[in-house]
Amino acid sequence: MIIHLSPPHQHGGDSIQASMLSVIFALLPASLCAVWLFGWLAVWQILTCIGVCMLSEWVAMRMMKRVSRLHDGSAALTGLLLALILPAATPWWMSIMGAVFAIILGKQVYGGLGYNPFNPALSARVILLISFPLAMTSWLIPAQAMPAGVDLYDISTTLALFFGGPEAMGQTLDAITMASPLGYVKDDARQGISVALSLQTHGYSYLDAFIGKETGSMGETSALALLIGGIILISRNTIRWHIPVSYLLTVAVLAAIFNTIDGDRFAPPLFHLLAGGLMLCAFFMATDPVSSPMGVKGHVVFGVGCGVLTWVIRTWGGYPEGAMFAVLLMNCAVPFIDHYFRPRVYGHQRKTP
């Protein structure tokens, strides 16, 4: 606690809590969409992740003998983000593990809020993906298309599914899950099937992908809900538009170029924009202030980097989805970007390196 008498004496009124709550508010459309698609299961996942994240934060702060910072909402936000990037069919213990990873390994080991080099929710998601590849790539069929006997809007059914897994319902994992569009396009491409044919055979529809009816993680499926959230964030000045716009534009431009060159092997730009975790990563993960660069120039460099990496991993990488890897990789480059893409200081010809 320092005594400071230096000006200014008036404060604008912004606070960490306000910006965290603003992001949580902007995630509401995506969360509601998740509840619409996956019923009570989404509610259990979200509550579990938020609860465990806040508990981990509290325990970690206690262990480090620091003042608890639960009120600022950053742990709750991490929990919500993590829940939204998990598949709906994730078993309860995996969600809990993810939440603990996110707070402890993703944030607190580095020194807590403001010091984490990586986005906590994304790093937890990647840890889970690498540890449990099957569970993390089994996408639950939305409630509207579920086979009979599994009602996601029924509390007891969803509790059984959440805690007991599909076996408790007398189902197999395969029966209630599907591959994601990115997944089957990639698999089909390995067998030499063109993108258009692959989409056609799986009954892919751009409108469904926009609204969110295609399979994916809980909060990632609806591009519409995420766009609304992104516009809320930008209009409330919580984030600036440069990262999401440069990110999405880069993916779209790359996809358009290669789709024009060879339409059979490379998916069209709209497919890329609507698929997987791109929208969520662009508006909510890449814009995480702590792990993203500062300044407009840095934002654009970061966004373009994320875009290139996402498209490259999706097209040539081993995983069907590359958005989260792209953001985490670009997180590594943030100190570098911050140093070399500083703005030119007033009155100086160019910045000194």
Partner 1 sequence: MFDWLQFFRPTPPFSGGVLLDMHKITDASPIADCPLPEVLIHPLKQHIGASCELLVSVGDHVFRGQKIGKSKGYVSAPVHAGTSGKVVRIEDHIVPHPSGLGMPCIFIEADGLDQSIEAKNSITDWINHAPSLLREQVRLAGITGLGGAGFPTYIKLLKDQRHPIHTVVLNGIECEPWLTHDHRLMIEHSDAIVEGLAILLHLVGSPRGVIAIEDNKPIAILAMQQAIDAYTSNAKNQAAIIMVVQSLPTRYPQGSEKQLIQAITGQEVPAGKLPMHTGVLCQNIASTEAIYRAIVQGKPLTERVITVSGDALPIPANLRVRLGTPMRFVFSHCGLRQWDGIQIVHGGPMMGERLKNAEAPVVKSTTGLLAMARNTLMAEHQGEEPCIRCGHCSEVCPIHLVPNMLADFTRQEQFDKAESYQLFDCIECGCCSHVCPSHIPLVHYFRYGKGQLAQIRKEKSFAEASRQRSEQRNSRIVQEKAAKAARRSRVRQQAKKILPPETKDDQP
Query: What's the token pair of residue 198?
Result: 């692959």
Minimum CB separation of residue 212 from partner 1 in Å reads 25
> What residues from 5 to 34 belong to the interface with partner 1 (CB under 8 A)?
5-12, 14-16, 18-19
Q: C-beta of 43: minimal distance to partner 1 in Å?
A: 29
CA gyration radius, the chain: 21
User: Considering the complex, what minimum distance in angstroms separates the CB of residue 79 from partner 1?
Assistant: 17
Q: Is 222 exposed, middle or buried (0-12, 13-18, 19+ CB in 10 A)?
A: buried
317 interacts with partner 1 by CB under 8 A: no
> How far is residue 131 CA from its own chain's centroid?
18
Per-residue x/- mask for partner 1, residues 217 to 246, rule CB under 8 A? -----------------xxxx--x------
Q: Which of 175, 253, 290, 312 binds partner 1 (CB under 8 A)?
A: 290
Tell me: does residue 343 bind partner 1 (CB under 8 A): yes
Asked if residues 182 and 314 have their Cβ atoms less than 8 Å apart, the reply is yes
Question: From CA 108, how far away is CA 67, in angstroms rounded?
Answer: 13
Q: Which of 62, 63, 109, 115 binds partner 1 (CB under 8 A)?
A: 115
Residue 200 sits at the vertex; the CA angle it makes with 195 and 206, to the nearest 5 degrees, is 85
C-alpha–C-alpha distance, residues 22 and 30, integer Å: 14
H-assigned helices in 102-241: 120-131, 155-164, 173-176, 181-190, 195-201, 206-211, 223-235
> Least CB distance from residue 342 to partner 1, whole Å?
6
Q: Smallest gap, in angstroms, from Cβ of residue 186 to partner 1? A: 35
141 vs 216: CA distance, rounded Å? 9
* Binders of partner 1 in range 65-94 (CB under 8 A): 69, 72
**39: left (phi > 0), else alpha (psi -120 to 50), else beta?**
left
Please give the size of the binding site for partner 1, defined by CB under 8 A: 43
Q: Does the protein bind partner 1 through residue 117 (CB under 8 A)?
A: no
**Choice from 245, 295, 312, 333 touching partner 1 (CB under 8 A):** 295
Q: Does 3 bind partner 1 (CB under 8 A)?
A: yes
Give residues in contact with partner 1 (CB under 8 A): 1-12, 14-16, 18-19, 69, 72, 112-115, 234-237, 240, 289-290, 292, 294-295, 338, 342-349, 352
